[in-house]
Amino acid sequence: MSEGKSLRVRRLMSESGRSLIVPMDHGISVGATPGLRDIAGTVAQVSEGGANGVVLHKGLVPTVRESLRPRTALIVHMSASTSLGAHINRKVAVCTVAEAVRLGADAVSVHLNAGTETEPEQIVDTARIAEECALWGMPLLAMVYVRSSPEDEYDPAKVGHAARMAAELGADLVKCHYTGDPESFSEVVAGCPVPVLIAGGAAHGDTRKLFGTVAEALEAGAAGVSMGRNVFEAPDAAGLTRHLGLLVHEGWSADRAHAAYQDHTAAGVQLAAV
């Protein structure tokens, strides 16, 4: 790893050696959903809450530039597809590393859907972007999912294969689904030579389950989380980010962090009622 890339990777990680990233690249895929309408405000919230990085498409960078605190890394997303079209799982490259550098990015990210008809093209895009990242000293986060069937999405062997593929293509960090238990996910982590972050999936509003999942993944060796909808759709994105950070960076248990988050939420409700 080049010196420049090594320095940028350090910006993505806290002293704990872990990272808490909030992707907000969903606008291209599904539109201006709750939490993304006021994108500058939401970025400000998660940045205030201590997120190590946010993921955005290039066109939104000017809108959120003033909302980012210095400690929050900017990750420019390189891949896109929309739910309006017939090929939502076909991700295509919509940015170059040179563009991301001009925008002031600390890292870039790609999305790769394994097991789909267009997997070969996505592999080619990922490999090309990894080469550009090596030339520019830019870290690459690969978000890789198994999309061959709904049953395969959380299959430990297939998730592990997809994570390893991303690392072999040149990713510096890999984001994938949590496989449901620490034992199976530890095998995913063991088979991937770069740090692994877990995805959050669709927002479900069950914060106790969310905290428990994060704690289990960390126990299994995950290097942190890369969670979008569960964070940016929360009523208090800053508070949730801050309390997830207690899990990721401070080693708090799920029960302790969740109890603190509940106390924080209750205090906010009481203040609002005054």
- Report the CATH number at residue 167: 3.20.20.70
Overall domain count for the chain? 1
Identity of residue 17 = G
Instruction: Report pLDDT digits (tens) over 190-228.
Output: 999 999 999 988 778 899 999 999 999 999 999 999 999
- For 111, the 3-state DSSP assignment is strand
Pair of tokens at residue 36? 């993304």
Q: Are the CB atoms for 227 and 199 separated by under 8 Å?
A: yes
Is residue 68 over pLDDT 70?
A: yes
Instruction: Report pLDDT digits (tens) over 233-270.
Output: 999 999 999 999 999 999 999 999 999 999 999 886 54
Write out the H or E segment, with its range, that includes residue 174: strand 173-176
Domain membership of residue 90 as a residue range: 3-273
The pTM of the full predicted model, rounded to 2 decimals, is 0.94
Q: What pLDDT shows up at residue 272? A: 46
Active site residues: 25, 145, 175
State the Cα–Cα distance between residues 233 and 230, nearest whole angstrom.
6
Residue bearing the bigger pLDDT, 15 or 188: 188
Q: Are the CB atoms for 176 and 152 separated by under 8 Å?
A: no
Write out the H or E segment, with its range, that includes residue 190: helix 182-190
